[in-house]
Amino acid sequence: MSDKFFFKGRQDARLDHTNHGFNPKANQKLGTKKYPLTLQVTSVESQQEVQALVDEANLVANITINNANDAVESIEELTTILSISKPITFEQLPKRNDPCHCGSGIKFKKCCA
């Protein structure tokens, strides 16, 4: 008989979750004193620019300078934190029977609706 009709357990090996970008330590907040950002720049001028960005965002970072000819700036951690968007909130309009927001004292449905 064929084996395909009988369950023999999991056929494929379990995959390692760390190879797929899953962070098991999700409570680590990068940019704090306990977990500072590790950034690498190629010049003193770029270090000052990056430090200004870090200070503006109220983060903590270890910035190192690498003057080698083939050195590459690595500031991906900073750019990902700065690119996280804040939620957009809108002021809610009053409902029909609420007092009007213009201050007339009349219900909204009879004033500004």
Would you say residue 97 has pLDDT above 80?
yes
pLDDT tens for 27-38 read 788 888 998 999
pLDDT tens for 63-73 read 999 988 888 88
pLDDT of 36 reads 92
Say which residues have a Cβ less than 8 Å from residue 104's Cβ, sequence separation at least 6.
111
Confidence band (pLDDT; 50, 70, 90) for 87?
A: confident
Domain ranges in the chain? 29-84
- Which residue type, as a one-letter code, is found at position 113? A
Q: Is 15 helix (H, G, I), strand (E, B) or coil?
A: coil
Determine contact, residues 57/68, Cβ cutoff 8 Å: no
Q: Is 66 helix (H, G, I), strand (E, B) or coil?
A: coil
